[in-house]
Structure 1
Amino acid sequence: MTRRAYGIVLLLGALLTSAACSSPYADDADARVSAEARTVRPVEGCGAASWTDPANLSPTRSPARCRPGAPSPVPLPKTRKLTIATGTLSAEYVAPLQVALDKGEFEREGLDVTLKVLPTPDALPLLAKGDVDALWAAPEAAVMNGIRGGFDIRWVAGNFSPDPASRSGLWVRLKDGETAADVRMADRSLGTMIGKGSVIAYPMEKALEPRGGGLDRIRYQQLGSADVLTALQNGGVDSAWLLDPVWRRVDGKPGYAFLGGQPLGEPLGGFLYGPSLLNADVDAGVALLRAYLRTVNTYFASAYKADPGFVTYLAKLLKIDEAVLRSTPALRMDWEIRAGTTDRLQAAYRAQGVTTGSPLPESRTVNRLLYEEAVGHRH
């Protein structure tokens, strides 16, 4: 792992603590109470299937869904400009944001949305200052360190879980004479967009368990999204975490082995909100999620790759090779957050040595109230 990346992980908690103290929303108790005491009304087109019990950890669980076109827009009285930071604009898991922007779903809510490419460690301090309004990212170790340091940030919506046929995950270059069963990851290098402290620590820990562990002995190399595959192919790194559809470039080729991927039925990322959308402007926060959910229900409800025209459209929108996009199974877009996910993530971060102290309770890391309001779910 680079000195810069390591420094970011270690110092981000202090940076966010300072930012939180200067935030105009940090001590806004009235706003916080009002955010949690909002009236939730039934939403047309979003019935019983629009919410699932977070405690249901079944890998075969069907994701929550409303009817196409639901939930209907509820335009804000005044247009609200929002900036969403994301690590990339070309990965398939970003497709709902790109489609929502292109199809005018954000605009229908009275939102003027800009998508900005920023890695999570760089974007978090900007979220604290209000320079970005939301992150399309994951509850990385840096996020947990920031929350522990006093910053009011929550994971508010999931993104996807993989299809059972997907081989998105940990890929390794085999040494001479080595087979997949022989692989031990200790002391090998790993190429990743985030570096040490990424959410992939959790599925990697599960994948390495039967292989002698070694999560704390991997040498992490932080790379740009376009460089991860290249580094694996040219020997710049020994292994890499490859997303859909990138893994198709090495699948079936000699010299590579797939060790494991994201758990089925369990999103590990999505929307992260800071104090402005959590407390000061909750209407805008709900509107943003409503547009996102409507996009999923309308365009990504099930096997969206069964529509050849939509795949062609998506490939052009994401600027990725259409043949490669067609070659992978559709992601299971899933806006809900499973119970205990941030507990399991924090356990993996501790195993890597990038977080210290007692684990944060889920009440400080997750807020499901906004997407529940968007679909009309009342407890």
Structure 2
Amino acid sequence: MRGRARAYPVVVLTAALLASAGCSSPYESDSEPKADVGDRTIRPVEGCGDTSWTDPADLSPNRLPARCQPGAPPPRPLAKTRKLTIATGTLSAEYVAPLQVAVDKGEFKKEGLDVTLKVLPTPDALPLLAKGDIDAQWAAPEAAVMNGVRGGFDIRWVAGNFSPDPESKSGLWVRLKKGESADRVAMAGRKLGTMIGKGSVIAYPMEKALEQHGGGLDRIQYAQLGSADVLTALQNGGVDSAWLLDPVWRKVDGEPGYAFLGGQPQGEPLGGMLYGPSLLNDDVDAGVALLRAYIRTINTYFASDYKRDAAFVSYLAELLKADEAILESTPSLRMDWEIRTGTTDRLQSAYRAQGVTEGDDPLPESRTVTRTLYEEAVGHRP
């Protein structure tokens, strides 16, 4: 999500990704990667007890995210330092903060990991992840990812990132037309500004919001814009609706002529860490170590309402190169490393409504999600 996103049609993109990765489908059945809990010893972890895991089937909006004690799970350094590259669309968004803090505070180094965060948009990162040229991707299981997995990419969603605070208005915003009010908006035919275009995970929550206002994913127009351009286009009339993230929505909140129609479901992360074959299969110890450092960072620095600490907000603003006042004005994200049951099913349903998925049947969760790595990191044996 940096600068100007590239406007790749998802289906065409997938074919290009498969060609560049040199992949043919290895799947004869719904197989798990080698990082299966049955292949590894799961030990209790100091500082991680009953609260370090929640039932994936719990979709309650008020579900408390899993937590260990601060400083837990404790480091278990690898015998030899491992250099890892994590691709991310941006280094300035708040949802990337745990990775930035983990690097800055040395949490990855405590595990024997030399981690580089590299800014790459999803279209550029996916074939590199599939080939093992990068080790992980901080992104989301978007349509291009699902199509890549269907075509043979050995990629799994292995950890969540966040869900919104109930007070957040990150989500679908619209410019009201004459005579419209926030509870009566005609969305059919509107032009939507988005950084990803069709095939983004926002299709799932957006579908719910549109259905309440006479629209639908197949009844709106899409304008793919750079991250810095979405708000500007909404304000100057280039688009008449947009998906605005924290803290961008603060720029229009309370302004006349704008309405918030809905956002990401509470308690359900829609993105996070994606692994390719290098951490799923070739070096699972490093894959677990990376998640252990990430989880420890959440438990130590982001366990609750981290924005109550003014000094920490200042630190984050400097680290993310963000406006401190704007950062402070939005609620804390609910950082959450777990993945809910059925999320990729719901995402694929929305992608089908947009017409951007390949194949008639959705991929089963066994082909899209692996929870065993973060479960091992906190000592939970299913």
Question: Which interval holds the TM-score relative to the shorter structure?
Answer: over 0.9
Q: Give the match for residue 13 of structure 2.
A: 12
Aligned position for 1:114: 116
Deviates more, 1:320-329 or 1:124-133: 124-133
In the alignment, what sits opposite 1:369? 372
Q: How does 1:177-192 map to 2 (within 5 A)?
A: 177-192=179-194
Match status 1:236 vs 2:238: yes
What does residue range 1-379 of structure 1 map to in structure 2 within 5 Å? 5-7=7-9, 9-18=10-19, 21=22, 32-33=33-34, 35-36=36-37, 37-356=39-358, 357-379=360-382
CA distance in 1, matches of 2:329, 2:298: 21
AA at the equivalent of 2:135 = D
Structure 1: unaligned runs, 5 residues or longer: none
Given residue 381 of structure 2, which amino acid in structure 1 is its aligned partner? R
Paired letter, 1:60: N
Query: Structure 1 211/290 Cα, relative in aligned 2: closer, same or farther at 3 Å?
Result: same
Code of the residue aligned with 2:198 in structure 1: it is K
Residues 284 and 258 from structure 1, CA distance in 2 versus in 1: closer, same or farther, beyond 3 angstroms? Answer: same
Superposed displacement of residue 13, structure 1: 2.8
Distance 1:337 1:343, change over 3 A: same
CA offset digits 1:235-255 (Å, max 9, x no partner): 222111111111111100011
Please give the secondary structure, in 1, of the residue aligned with 2:376. Answer: helix
Q: State the distance in 1 between where 2:313 and 2:179 align.
A: 40
Q: Which amino acid aligns with 2:275?
A: Y
Q: Could you list the per-position Cα deviations for residues 53-104 of structure 1 after superposition, in whole angstroms to 9, with x for gaps in the alignment?
A: 0011111110000000001111111111111111111111111011111111
**How big is the shift at 1:4?**
6.1
What one-letter code is carried by the residue in structure 2 that aligns with 1:195?
G
2:5, 2:225 within 8 Å by CA — same for their partners in 1? no
Compared CA separation, residues 251 and 55, structure 1 to 2 (3 A)? same
Moved over 6 A (4+): none
Paired AA for residue 325 in structure 1? L
TM value normalised by structure 1: 0.94
Q: CA deviation at 1:120?
A: 1.3
Percent identity (aligned)? 79
**1:130 to partner: Cα distance:** 2.2
Q: Name the structure where helix makes up a greater proportion of residues.
A: 1
CA positional deviation for 1:353: 0.8
User: By how many angstroms is 1:183 displaced?
Assistant: 1.5
Using the TM superposition, name which of 315-324 and 12-21 deviates more. Answer: 12-21
Q: Is residue 45–residue 378 contact of structure 2 (8 Å, CA) maintained in 1?
A: yes
Q: Label 1:31 to 1:199 Cα distance change in 2 as closer, same or farther (>3 A).
A: closer
Question: RMSD between aligned alpha carbons?
Answer: 2.1
Is the contact made by 2:27 and 2:152 (CA closer than 8 Å) also made in structure 1?
no
Letter in 1 for 2:357: T
Change in CA separation of 1:305 and 1:280 when aligned onto 2, cut-off 3 Å: same
Task: Judge which range, 171-180 or 101-110, deviates more.
Answer: 171-180
Given the two structures, how large is their TM-score scaled by the length of structure 2? 0.93
Which string of whole-angstrom CA distances, capped at 9 and with x for unpartnered residues, describes residues 276-296 of structure 1? 110111111111101100000
SS of residue in 2 equivalent to 1:216: coil
How far the C-alpha of 1:34 sits from its partner, in A, is 5.8
